[in-house]
Structures are given as C-alpha cells and as structure tokens.
Structure 1
Amino acid sequence: MTTPPSSRRALVGGALAASAVAATSTVPAYAGSGKHDVPLLSPADRHLVQRFSYGLTTDLAKTVRKAGGAGAWFERQLKPASVDDRDAKKVDGWWPELSYSPSKLWQRQIMGMQGGWEVMANYQRRALQRRMRTNRPVLELMTEFWENHFNVPVNGDAQFTYRAAYGDRIRENALGRFSDLLLGAVTHPAMLIYLNQAESTKRHPNENLARELLECHTVGVGQYGEDDVKASARILTGYTVDMWETWQALYDPEEHWRGPVRVMGFRDKNKKKDGQDLTHRYLEYLAHHPATARRIAWKLAMKFVSDTPSAALVSHLSKVYRKNDTEIAPVLHALVASREFQRAAGKKVRDPGEDIVATYRVLGIHMDQPHADDSGVNALLWQAGSIGIYPLAWPRPDGQPIDNVSWSSPGRLMASMNVHYTVSNGWWPTKGVHYREPKDWLPKVRVKFVDLVDHLSRELLHTPASDRMVAACCQVTGYSKHEIIDPEHELVQWGMGRVLTTFLDSPEFMSR
C-alpha cells in the first residue's frame, strides 16, 4: 500500500485485523482457478479511472474498455456534452423546489411551508444522487471541487435562496476557464449574501468577500496586505441583493465607490459610475496572476495526485494554466500525463462523501425517488453525515479539507466501518432502496470459498484477491479456503455482508 505512513496508521491501526488487510502490489495475488467473468483494467487504467470517478464498478470498467481505454475515456469526459447522462438528470425533477425563485423559497420559509434547511438537505441529496448515477464523473468531480474552492455553505438562512442556482453556475464552467469560474462565483448572489457583499455600500465597504477573494479564491495568504483588501472591497461595491422585498440580485451604480484603486499590481482610476467593467478586469487580473496559477495548480495536484505534490509538478501545471488562458482541461491533461500522477495509485484517502457514494455504487444499490422522510435517498444523506461531514456543508469560506490526514482518524474509520456493515447487510435504509440479493454475488451455483473471495475482489476492488485478503475473509467467517458455497449455504443465507464489509473496510477501498 502506498498510502502515506500517517494515513496508513490511522486507517489500519483502528480496524479489526480481519478487515484491515487489502490486496497490494507487494502481496502475492491468489492464482485463482482459471477463467474469470470479471475482466480487469490494466493497473494504469484502473488508477486513472479510480482517481477521476466516484468509484470503479464493473459497468464503468466496461464503458472504459468500450471507449478504447482509460485515456480515450478521459478525453471524452473532458467534453461532457458528448456523454449521455439521462439517468443522473432524472433526479433533477425529484425536488422541484430547487428550481423555485429566491422570493418563492423565502416566502415558503416564512409561511412555514418548507424551511431553508429542508431545501438545502434536498440539494445535498441531489448532489449525492448525481454522483452515484452519473456517466460524467469528471464533470461531477470538478463541480464538487470548485464548489468547495468557492465555498458557500448550504447551511445559511439567506444564501439558501440562491444556493442551487450557484451550484448550477459552477457546473457550467467546471471544465472551462478559471477566469469565468471566478467571475461567476464572486458576483453570484449566493456568494454576495454569504460574505456580506449584498450589504456593502460606498460609505461602508464590507471587506469579507474582498478578503476571501484574495485569501481563498485566488492568490493566497502572503501575497497581499490590508490596503489591498480595502481597495478590493471598494472595487466590488455596487453588487447587491434586495433581501427585504424582491430578493432580486442587481448592480447599483449609486453604491459604487469611485476613486483610484490599487490591489497588488492592478491599478485603475475608477472614475466611472458603473464599476462592473472594472470588476471584470480586476478578476481577470487575479485569475491570471502567477500566485493564483501556482495555487490552483497545487490544489488540483493535492486533490488528484497526492498530499505532497512536488514543486516541479506544481510549477509545470501552473505554466500550463497560464499558457492556456486559465483553461482547466489542459491542466488536467498535463496532470494525468505526469509521472508523479502515474506513480500515485492509492495515495489519496476517500473523504466521507466519496466513501458513501463509492459504497453504494460498488454494491449495486439502486434508489427510488423519495416519498417519505425515511426513504432511502434521505437516509443516504444521514449516513454520509455520520461518517464525518454532510456534503457541501463545510462552515468556513476556505472549503472542506482535501488532504488525507483530515479524513484518516480512527473515529472516521469506525464510522465508515459501521456504515459499510449496515449497508452490506441491507439493514438500513430499507424503503425505496434495492439491494443485490446475497446469492447474486456468487459467480456460479457451487464455488469454493477462495474462488468466491477472488470473484468479490474483482467486483469490489477491481483487482485479484491477495493471499492476505483470502486469509482475512477466512478469518472473519471461520471457513476454510476449500469450503463449498452454494445458494443454501449459511454464508449466503445470513453472512454475506460480513465478507462484503471485509473488502469495503480495506485500505484499498478506503483509498482511491
């Protein structure tokens, strides 16, 4: 296993011995008994797809092979409009309130019809369902990445009115230019409300958005001073939202501060009453700044390569970013082509959201549109929260952590193990959810236990079972390798969940 030592200790040290082992490149693979019905991708293809999806399944592997390999599949993913995604789009109609106008949402809240927190819980559920169902995982991953980078927490008593539209705006540009992403996010009413820009005036410019724009969204700490923050706040004046009556987002030229402004290397006389063009030029300057290029390159490398990307890789990606006018796709091209990426298999730990989505996907669990509070789709959100954090709910502007250590505590591991065991046994949720029958995991009517373990390893981990994994499954069930398993065997009748959980609790599944 190539997970960093600190993360490996947290993941393995807190687990039961039987569920802490996994197939690795250094552990001999079980030889098997001949022909297999689960063809495997090459290690390189498997790594690319694992890192840029919400969990490799047998169906996704078939799609990759049909595309001509992971490289060709990835190329097509960067052009998401060319990939049919009707199954994921179905869920958009499950919660019609997510398309309601801000004023209607607010009225429904004050009339006691539906609280903002309820609307946002459904937005979180929709996000999880999209990730489970999508044929465009790269687009969904990058949408999540940028929603995290330009974080507007779903839990807010005013920004909820615009939060779904904010996520949709980010999705539109998630694989485009960072410049467009920055403009769309910073001037969006959800962001204006969250960071108090909606209340900013020329007499009293609010500095919250101006500061986070520099600290979190672009150049980063150490690149600017307090005078830069003040000037940044003055540039942004004029953008507002009427939160008293209409909930309309607008630009008010009367509230734009006029006079010379300077932020780092950006200068302007700022004489015009309407400062929107000034804002656009300012954001373009920030998007193209070398410090922004390095920061975006570093963050993408941390998310998709490792917690400690080399200075050489970050420098290379930042050059690609600037050379291509802040386009994201060329940076991703360069990232996956790097030797550092190719050597990074297993170096990233799944966060709670990735864990829950990958678990449901690999177990082949299908969910119906929710019709009651205890429907499976609703429970899915609660399970994600129980592992460590609800999706898109990080309370600070800096966004949810993307490093391994943050998600590698013994407490998180035990929470994941609890969810894995519950779901593998089909215990909860039970309404509006369809599990595979235990007998459906058998590759044939009668099979040796060792061959069943190998079959499951190929389905759940997309690798042959290691000798250590075989030993773990024998230990957790009490069966020998040569035990014959058929549909009437006690393992199939009531113990299959124990074997499935052994795979899901392994470091190999918990990493990507």
Structure 2
Amino acid sequence: MTTTFWPTIADAVRNTVPTARAPLAWQPACLLMSRFGFGIETKTQADITHYGLDGWWKFQLAFSRGAGAGYAGHAGVAAQGPLLTQSPAQVRAWLAANGNEYGWEAMDQLTRVTLGLQAWSRGQVYETAVDFFANHLNVANHSDGVWTTRHTMDRDVIRKHALGSYENMLLASARNPAMLRYLSLASSTKSAINENHGRELLELHTVGIGNYTEADVQNSARILTGRSLDADFNYLYKPEKHWVGPIKVMGFSHPNDSAATGEAAGDAYLRYLARHPATAKRLAQKLCVHYVSDNPSPTLVAAVAKIYLQTGTQIAPMLLAILRSTEFWASRGAKVRRPAENLIATVRVLGVGPGTLSRSLQHLHWMSSSVGQVPLDWSPPNGYPDVASAWRSSGSLLNLWSYHRGLAQNWYDGFAPFDPTSLYLAVKPKTSGEAIHQLCVRVSGRRFPTAHVAALQTFLGEPASTPIAASRLRWYLHHLVPLILDAPQHALR
C-alpha cells in the first residue's frame, strides 16, 4: 500500500476519499469515532462538527490533559470508584473495615469505572490510548497479589502518561507496586534473582523478541534488583537487595558499582530501552495494528516510529501521524471490534445513557465477562490480542446479539430508557425504505450493501415504498434495530 502523509487531518481525508473503493465508502467522522473512540455517538459527532477534524483532535488533547484527566472524563462514573483515589494501605484498611481484608472491591471498581468511561467519557482519544497501553504494559486485574495495588498501575502509570511520554510511563511502571508484584520484581534480590520482569521488559514492553540474548535477560534482571515494596505495598528501593557489578544489555553498559546508586542505574537502563529504535518500531507497529489494520504497511510503521524518536518518545504525535496518513482514512473495514468494544459501541450508538450508574456499570461488567473480554483482566502479561483472528467465538457472538436486543429493547434496569426513533437522522423518513437507510447509516456510518438492505426489508414484510405512517415499523422498529446491530458493519471498529 502506498501511504501519503498530509499536514492536517482534513488534508488526509480530502486526499483519501476519491481513492476509497466503493465497499469502503464511509463518513469520516464515524471512522474517527470508531477507531479513536469506542463507537459512533451523537455528542461526539456534534463535537467533530463544531470543531472540525483538526480542531476536534486539539480539543481531545486539551480535555484529556485538563478537565478530563485521570477519571474525570465523567464525574458520575468517577464517583463509582472511590477506592481508586486511595493508597494501597487505605484500600486494605477499607476492605478490613468492611469485613474482607482480602476482598476484590477495588479491582471491581476499576473494571466498572473503566467500562463507564469508555462508554460515556467525552475524552474518547484518551480512553482508547489508556486501553492500548493498559494492554501493552499489562498487569492482570482480578489476580492474586494485586488486590490493593492494581488501581495504582491504572491511575499513576497508564492514565498519567497515556498521551504523554512513553519513557516516563516505562519509568513509572518499574516503580509501580502492582507491576512489581505481578512480574515478581519486588521479590527479586541479588542472591535470588527473578528474571520475570527483566525478560518481559525486553520482550513485551520495549525492543521485542530477536533483539536480545539470554545473557541480556539475566543482566536486565540484575540491574533492576532492589526495587521492592514496604509493608504497606508502596514502592521502596532497598539498596541491600541490589546486585552490584558491571552490566551490559544490548548496547547499554553501566558500571553499576554501588548499591546506593543502583536505582539510578536502573533508570538509565530503562531510558535506554525507551529510546531504542527497536522499541520505536515495536510500539509503532502495535499502534498501527490497533488504530489502522491488522497488517499495516511498513511505510506507515516506519513513519510513526520516526516521530516517536524525533519527539523524545511522545505518544500523541504518533497518533496524530496515523491520523494524517491516507492509509488510516482508507482503512474502513480493516479492523474488527473485540467483544467488549462491540458491547460499548452498542451503548454509544444507541445513545443509551446511565440511569442508575451503580446498576448500569454492574450490567456492563457481567456482560463483558459473558462475552469473554473484561477490560484489564487478560491473565498473561502480553495483553488482550488485537487482531480479528483471535476473537472468532460463536459463544461470544451469540451473547453480543442477545445484548444488542436487550439494550435496544430496555431489558436492563440502571440504563436510561431508549427510544428507537431517536436513531433517525435529522430529516424524518417518509417511507420504510428511507427509514432502513437512515438506521443503517446511523449505526455504521455508511450504506449497507443492497442484499443486506433487502434482507431487512424482507424482515418487515413490506415494500420499501411503504409510507412510514402505514409501515410495520410502528411495531417492529425495536426488533429491526437489533438486526442492524447484528450485521457485520457494526462489528467493525
């Protein structure tokens, strides 16, 4: 694929539209909402219309670095996670006071708040970046050993740096109590070195397989010893546990001649890895897979990696480079939503708001569990897979189809009532055929293929010319909407 980069997002759109193949005809705002957001939604579309494509990007960055930072993208959702603002010791004390010192309430709150922000936060670019880096630096939520600390990884590492510097994110991760326990760095000492974190740091967090040796893994583990926790699970560097001696990992070397300066030696190593060209290429590849296609072009990946190195590991400029590429804007249809993304996209496209937040977030939690993708809960350290071939499951699909109906037909308490006529576009349809066209465009951002439209018309059992006042849509609209959601078009990210 030939990839061209333009000075503005609007230029990239303008110069991509004429070359888009007919099956991939799309509305640019809808593609933007599906990739740099968790789905099509009227308020976001209004923001894009108001600010323009480039203005919307600037608004998103300003919002997520200001009023919407951390969990503030939706005040009501944030209020459902009071433990997320607490220290590990405070969380444990709260759990003990409420009858279960080893309970998982803090982790449950993190799941529910994450889902709520994906569904209803105005800072959608931020939430997609948070989701990406939570998987890139994965620490499994709802796992042993992190019941009082997992939220600190989300709060102090991922959300703090998601649109900032990856170098700073990596440094923060190597001091985070949840990461240190999850990958056993907290228990690694000069006399009993645990290689788990040192290996995953190279394999998953930075340069990737093929760029290091087993000797590099061993030295990677040695230079990070001493990073431990105090009795309250706060980070604490313990020099007496640090391995002392010369270190060489790939092109990095350090005398590492003092336990007292071992933490600084480890930081120097982390900075080296963060700024390594192999790390730039690997991060660029993963970001392009996430936001563009399962098989992005080498040209796009190289350009995004170059931006990463030129800007000193800044994340937002990498995303902007993707948005300014013709490859991104020609990629409609090239990504499939993961199960939980489909669920959240359904909430957003229907405009289903939270009624009673505690109940709606509980529903989203168990729904995501039943479709096989609770955010942050992937057990291995490599994060949820991000390609279509990993998500072929008939069970998840059937459950999603059930939730399409449940959300469209108001089965669940806790959500605001949904009126299916709210999905019609600004001009009310005059005929049954016009109604189907409007609903398909509203849900997917593009026309459905002729055969798909014909199948929906057959379901209604009436010709497309039927006046809306005489159409069976008066009774069947709440059944038709789920069928449109079940179509392949809604399954696309």
Output the TM-score relative to the length of structure 2. Answer: 0.88
Match of 1:459 in 2: 442
Superposed counterparts of 1:255-266, under 5 Å: 255-266=241-252
CA displacement 1:16-51 (0-9 Å, x = unmatched): xxxxxxxx964699xxxxxxxxxxxx7344323332
Correspondence for 2:63 among 49, 62, 80: 80
Q: Answer yes or no: is 1:496 the counterpart of 2:483.
A: no
CA displacement 1:88-119 (0-9 Å, x = unmatched): 13321123122233123334546734754333
Give the deviation of 1:137 after TM superposition: 0.7
Match of 2:203 in 1: 215
Letter in 2 for 1:213: L
Match of 2:407 in 1: 423
Give the deviation of 1:483 after TM superposition: 3.1
Q: Is the 8 A contact 1:178 1:327 kept in 2?
A: yes
Match of 1:11 in 2: none
Distance 1:342 1:447, change over 3 A: closer
- d(CA) in 2 for partners of 1:95, 1:114: 18
Q: Answer yes or no: is 1:227 the counterpart of 2:215.
A: yes
Correspondence for 2:240 among 239, 248, 254: 254
CA displacement 1:281-333 (0-9 Å, x = unmatched): 10010011111111011101111111111222222221221122111122222
Match of 2:81 in 1: 95
- SS of 2:490's partner is helix
CA displacement 1:366-421 (0-9 Å, x = unmatched): 113445xxx22201111112222111100000111011111244443323222212
- d(CA) in 1 for partners of 2:196, 2:84: 27
Superposed counterparts of 1:132-171, under 5 Å: 132-169=119-156, 170-171=158-159
- d(CA) in 1 for partners of 2:119, 2:259: 48
Distance 1:446 1:459, change over 3 A: closer
Distance 1:439 1:318, change over 3 A: closer
CA displacement 1:140-198 (0-9 Å, x = unmatched): 11011111100001022321211112111211111111111111112211100111111
Give the deviation of 1:351 after TM superposition: 0.8
- d(CA) in 2 for partners of 1:182, 1:28: 38
Q: Answer yes or no: is 1:400 the counterpart of 2:400.
A: no
Q: Is the 8 A contact 1:438 1:492 kept in 2?
A: no
Letter in 2 for 1:448: T
Q: Answer yes or no: is 1:358 the counterpart of 2:340.
A: no
Superposed counterparts of 1:300-449, under 5 Å: 300-370=287-357, 375-427=359-411, 429-430=412-413, 432-441=414-423, 447-449=430-432
Q: Which has the higher contact order (CA 8 A, sep 6+)?
A: 1
Distance 1:87 1:229, change over 3 A: closer
CA displacement 1:195-238 (0-9 Å, x = unmatched): 11111111112111111101110011111111111111111111
Correspondence for 1:55 among 14, 36, 39: 39
Q: Is the 8 A contact 2:24 2:332 kept in 1?
A: no
Q: Answer yes or no: is 1:236 the counterpart of 2:219.
A: no
Q: Answer yes or no: is 1:272 the counterpart of 2:253.
A: no
Q: Is the 8 A contact 1:477 1:498 kept in 2?
A: no
Distance 1:318 1:491, change over 3 A: same
Match of 1:471 in 2: 454
- SS of 2:259's partner is coil
Match of 1:130 in 2: 117
Q: Answer yes or no: is 1:282 the counterpart of 2:269.
A: yes
- d(CA) in 1 for partners of 2:433, 2:66: 39
Output the TM-score relative to the length of structure 1. Answer: 0.85
Q: Which moved more, 1:452-461 or 1:272-281?
A: 452-461
- SS of 2:148's partner is helix
CA RMSD of the aligned region, Å? Answer: 2.5
Give the deviation of 1:87 after TM superposition: 5.7
Q: Which moved more, 1:86-95 or 1:299-308?
A: 86-95
Distance 1:171 1:82, change over 3 A: closer
- d(CA) in 2 for partners of 1:247, 1:327: 30
Distance 1:508 1:338, change over 3 A: same
- d(CA) in 2 for partners of 1:439, 1:339: 35
Unaligned runs of 5+ residues in structure 1 are 1-23, 30-41
Q: Answer yes or no: is 1:182 the counterpart of 2:176.
A: no
The share of aligned pairs that are identical, in percent, is 34
Letter in 2 for 1:218: T
Letter in 1 for 2:153: Y
Letter in 2 for 1:234: R
Q: Is the 8 A contact 2:33 2:40 kept in 1?
A: yes
- d(CA) in 1 for partners of 2:298, 2:420: 49
Letter in 1 for 2:268: R
Q: Which moved more, 1:434-443 or 1:343-352?
A: 434-443
